[in-house]
Amino acid sequence: MRPERRIVLHIGTEKTGTTSLQALLHANRETLARHGVAYLSTPGRAEARGLTAAVLDEDLPDDYLRFLGVDGENARRVFREKTLAEWRAQLEGLPAHIHTVVVSSEHLHSRLRRPEELKRLADLLSPWGSEFRVVCYLRRQVDVMDSFYSTELKNGGTRTLLEAAGKMCRPGNHYFNYRQVLELWGDVFGEETLCPRLFTRPTRQGDGVIEDFLSLLSIDRAALSRPVRPRLNESLTPLGQALLRGLNQLAHRAGDEGRLAEDLQMLRREVVRVFAGKGATLPTEEARALQSRFDEINGALRERWFPDRETLFAPLGKNDDRQVGRRMDLSAKQLTLVSRALNLSDALGEKANRFKGFDECAVRLRDAAVERETRDPAGAASYMKLAARIRPKGAFIRQWLETNCPPMGFAARLRHLLGR
């Protein structure tokens, strides 16, 4: 007989605070269990990444399986059978007082795109619960793109944010087409199980998605302790993104073997750690044009799920270009990493345009120097000298360094020249 138990599937979407939520739930498994809630995850992880990989069709590549060294049809079949057996054992062993089971993985949103994959998941879970709820947080697509960009660079990407957004952020991409995602899950689990929610950022008044999700479980946030590492899966600062993109281009040219390849890999890891912070955002006009691609889809979602709202997401306004006016104070460690990256570029032995991949770094350093020139002339000069190393023929950079004391209005003229 099927137990009277609710199974809550938190499927993402990606870039909606999932990692922080999962860390909190995983760290408080014993407390949750005392309240009748079982949080199940892949062994050694805070979420159900292994389960997602297990139900994925075997003809599809998967970075998690590649990391585990699971390669080939037979190996994947063995992995699937073993993983599903482990999950059945977890479910079978649940105490009688457990009334809610929570399974969370943003990869349920991003990886599972075929009905057959969701049916495998339903077949596994259905015998252990009488009710499903599929929780999916929705975020404005261009904001997801901004947030995803650092992840693309961490995975070796070499495109600029504008290039990546132009190719990826479109209705034909399942990742961004929330109507397609919800329809897929509704077809397999039933539309009545769907629980789409709108993403809200954490504030001083609350934890956004965390508090909203806990309210669905009827769990008081005060009853849970904070995990040791509350900030996870961070973006990189705009300069960190530009630096990592340049290093990725060097890595493609250097190959996968040899001392230079090892040094590049080590430096890439340091950049990810040292430049953690808020990343670049798409310029407002480009963001508006990209977001307009989803007007029909988002309009249909609003009408179906959020009829009390005028629009599904807040319109992009004049203040949405969040790069304007942002100070960029760099640490000595960050400046050292930029210099080391340029040294590795020299080590490739390419003389002509050897720093081309770091041109955006020069722009970021130049702008930061101009912003800093009145409050810290010495620091501004160190920024501009690094920019000059990348752009030795840059007229503006040379003039700035030659004057040693930029004339009044210099920053304003720079913004005018750049069309800002």
Residue 227 has pLDDT above 90, yes or no: no
Confidence category of residue 405, pLDDT binned at 50, 70, 90? low
In the predicted model, what is the mean pLDDT of residues 386-413?
Answer: 77
Name the percent of the chain lying above pLDDT 70: 90
Residue 415 has pLDDT above 80, yes or no: no
Residue 353 has pLDDT above 90, yes or no: no
How far apart are the C-alpha atoms of 386 and 400, rounded to whole Å?
A: 13
Q: What is the pTM of this model?
A: 0.88
pLDDT for the residue 207: 73
Residue 348 has pLDDT above 80, yes or no: no
Average pLDDT in the chain: 90
pLDDT for the residue 233: 59
pLDDT digits (tens, 9 = 90+) for 248-291: 999 988 887 788 889 999 999 999 999 999 999 999 999 999 99
pLDDT for the residue 201: 77
pLDDT digits (tens, 9 = 90+) for 146-186: 999 999 999 999 999 999 999 999 999 999 999 999 999 99
pLDDT for the residue 326: 65
pLDDT digits (tens, 9 = 90+) for 299-347: 999 999 999 999 999 998 755 555 555 677 899 999 999 999 999 888 8
Domains of the chain: 6-140+170-223 (3.40.50), 238-277+324-417 (no CATH)
